[in-house]
Chain A
Amino acid sequence: MIEKEGEQFMDKLLKLLSDGRARTIEMLAAELDTSASDVARKLEYLEIIGVIRRVSFQNGNCKGCTGCSGKGKKDAAPCKGCIPDEGFKNMGVMWEVV
Chain B
Amino acid sequence: MSTGVTVALLGQPNSGKSTLFNALTGLRQHVGNWPGKTVEKKEGSFVHKGKEYRVADLPGSYSLSANSDEEVITRDYIASGEADVVCILADSSQLQRSLFMLADYAGIDVPCFLLLNMSDVAAEQGKKIDAKAIGEKLGIPVIPFSATDKKSYDVFYDALEAVIKDKGLLNVDKLTQQYESIIGYREIYDLIPENVIPGYSAMWIAVKALENDKVVMAKLRAALDDNAYSQIEEAKKNAQGAVATGGCKFAWIDDVLEKAVDAGDKKISLSFLDKIYTSRIWGKPAVILTVLLGLIASFIPAIPLMIVGSLILAVKAPVMGVLTSIGCPEILTLIIGDVVIQSFSYIFKMLGFVFGVTLVFGLLEEVGVMARISYVFDNTMGKLGLQGKSVMPFLVSFGCTMGGAAGARVIDNWGQKVLTIALAWAVPCGAAWATIPMLSTIFFGPGAVLVIVAVLLTMLLHMWITAKIFGAKLVKKEDRYGMIMELPPYHKPKWGALFRYVFGRTKETFIRVTKVILLVCGVFWLLSYSPSGDNGGILYTIGVAIEPVTKIFGMPWQLFLSYVASAVGKEGAIGVISALYNGNSYSSGFMDAMNGAARAENLNELLLANVTKPEALAFIFAMTFNMPCVVALAATYQETHSAKWTSIIVTYYTAVSLILAFLAYHIGLLIW
Chain A residues within an 8 Å CB radius of B398: 73-74
Q: Are A70 and B255 in contact (CB under 8 A)?
A: no
Whether the Cβ atoms of B392 and A30 lie closer than 8 Å is no
Contact yes or no, B513 A71, CB < 8 A: yes
Q: Which of B247, B278, B366, B509 is the one whose CB lies under 8 Å from A89?
A: B366
* Minimum CB–CB distance for A12 against chain B, Å: 9
Q: Find the B residue at minimum CB distance from A39.
A: B484
Query: Is B672 in contact with chain A by the CB < 8 A criterion?
Result: no
Docked CA distance A9–B181 (Å) = 12
A14: chain B residues at CB < 8 Å are 243
Taking CB atoms and an 8 Å cut-off, the chain B residues in 498-512 that contact chain A are 501, 504-505, 508-509, 512
Which of A27, A36, A67, A69 touches B401 (beta carbons < 8 Å)? A69
B-chain residues with CB within 8 Å of residue A95 when the two chains form the complex: 483-485
Q: How many residues in A have their beta carbons less than 8 Å from beta carbons of B?
A: 76
Q: A55-B410, A69-B629, A86-B501 are in contact. Are A7 and B96 (CB under 8 A)?
A: no
The interface centre, meaning the residue of B353, B378, B387, B430 with most chain A CB atoms within 10 A of its CB, is B430
Contacts of A30 in B (CB 8 A): 268
Mark out the residues of chain B between 340 and 386 whose CB falls within 8 Å of any chain A CB in the assembled complex.
Answer: 353-354, 357-358, 361-362, 364-368, 370-371, 374-375, 378-379, 382
Contact A22 B407 (CB under 8 A): no
Q: Report which of B62, B247, B628 forms a contact with A7, defined as CB distance below 8 A.
A: B247
Interface string of A40-55 (1 = CB under 8 A from B): 1111111011011001
- 19 CB-based A-B contacts, threshold 8 Å: A6-B178, A9-B250, A20-B482, A23-B483, A24-B486, A25-B484, A41-B94, A57-B392, A57-B407, A69-B512, A71-B508, A73-B430, A73-B433, A77-B400, A77-B407, A83-B403, A91-B365, A92-B368, A96-B389
5 additional contacts, CB 8 Å, given A6-B244, A72-B354? A22-B382, A35-B266, A69-B400, A71-B512, A82-B406
B379 and A21 contact, CB distance less than 8 A: yes
Render B537-549 as a binary contact track against A, CB cut-off 8 A, 1 for contact.
0000000000000
- Cβ of B17 under 8 Å from chain A: no
Inter-subunit contact A17/B97 (CB<8 Å): no
Contact between A96 and B431, CB atoms less than 8 A apart: no
Q: Which residues of B contact A93 (CB under 8 A)?
A: 485-486
Q: Chain A residues with Cβ under 8 A from B249's Cβ?
A: 6
Q: Give every chain A residue within 8 A of B505 (Cβ-Cβ).
A: 71-72, 75, 84
Tell me which residues across on chain A come within 8 A of B162, comparing CB atoms: none
Contact of A94 among B211, B365, B389, B509 (CB under 8 A): B389
Are B431 and A69 in contact, with the CB atoms below 8 A?
yes
List the 7 closest A-B pairs by CB distance, nearest first: A70-B400, A77-B403, A6-B251, A10-B247, A22-B378, A75-B399, A72-B430
Q: Across the interface, do B100 and A77 meet the contact criterion of CB distance under 8 Å?
A: no
* B488 on interface, CB distance cutoff 8 Å: yes
Chain B, residues 468-484, CB within 8 Å of chain A (1/0): the string is 00000000000111111
B434 at the interface (CB under 8 A from A): yes
Q: Size range of the interface on B?
A: 35 or more
Residue of B with least CB distance to A5: B181
Q: How far is the CB of A2 from chain B (nearest CB, A)?
A: 6
Take A20-B481, A69-B429, A72-B434 as given contacts and tell me if A55 and B389 are in contact as well, using a CB distance cutoff of 8 Å. yes
Q: With A and B bound together, what is the CA distance between A26 and B242 in angstroms?
A: 24
Output the nearest chain A residue to B399 by Cβ-Cβ distance. Answer: A75
Least CB distance, A92 to chain B, in whole angstroms? 4
For residue B92, CB closer than 8 A to chain A, the reply is no
Contact of B246 among A18, A42, A56, A83 (CB under 8 A): A42
Q: Chain A residues with Cβ under 8 A from B431's Cβ?
A: 69-72
Contact A70 B430 (CB under 8 A): yes
B338 CB–A CB distance under 8 Å? no
B429, A70: Cβ atoms closer than 8 Å: yes
Given contacts A11-B243, A67-B569, A68-B631, contact A77 B404 (CB under 8 A): yes
Which residues in B have their C-beta under 8 angstroms from that of A6? Answer: 178, 181, 244, 247-252
Please tell me if the beta carbons of A71 and B434 are within 8 angstroms of each other in the complex.
yes
User: How many angstroms between the C-alpha atoms of A29 and B371 in the bound complex?
Assistant: 19
Query: Residue B466 at the A interface, CB < 8 A?
Result: no
Q: Could you tell me if B365 and A90 are in contact, using CB atoms closer than 8 angstroms?
A: yes
Which residue from chain A places its CB closest to the CB of B407 in the assembled complex? A78
Q: How far is the CA of A92 from the CA of B378 in the complex (A)?
A: 14
Find chain B residues with CB under 8 A from A46 CB: 243, 246
Q: A16: which B residues are within 8 A, CB to CB?
A: 482
Chain A CB within 10 Å, residue with most, of B240, B250, B278, B367: B250
Of B96, B368, B387, B631, which one neighbours A41 at CB under 8 angstroms? B96
A11-B243, A55-B410 known; A71 and B399 CB under 8 Å? yes
**B97-121 Cβ-contact flags toward A at 8 Å (1 or 0):** 1001000000000000000000000
Chain A residues closer than 8 Å to B362, beta-carbon distance: 74
| CB–CB B485/A24 < 8 A | yes
Q: Residue B487 at the A interface, CB < 8 A?
A: yes
| Closest Cβ neighbor of B62 among chain A residues | A48
Whether B254 is near chain A, meaning CB under 8 Å from some CB there, is yes
Enumerate chain B residues within 8 angstroms of A82, measured Cβ to Cβ: 396, 399-400, 402-403, 406
Q: Could you tell me if B354 and A71 are in contact, using CB atoms closer than 8 angstroms?
A: yes
Known contacts: A73-B433, A77-B404, A84-B505. The answer to whether A94 contacts B270 by CB under 8 A is no
What's the minimum C-beta distance from A22 to chain B, rounded to whole angstroms?
3
- The answer, yes or no, to whether B635 is at the interface (CB within 8 Å) is yes
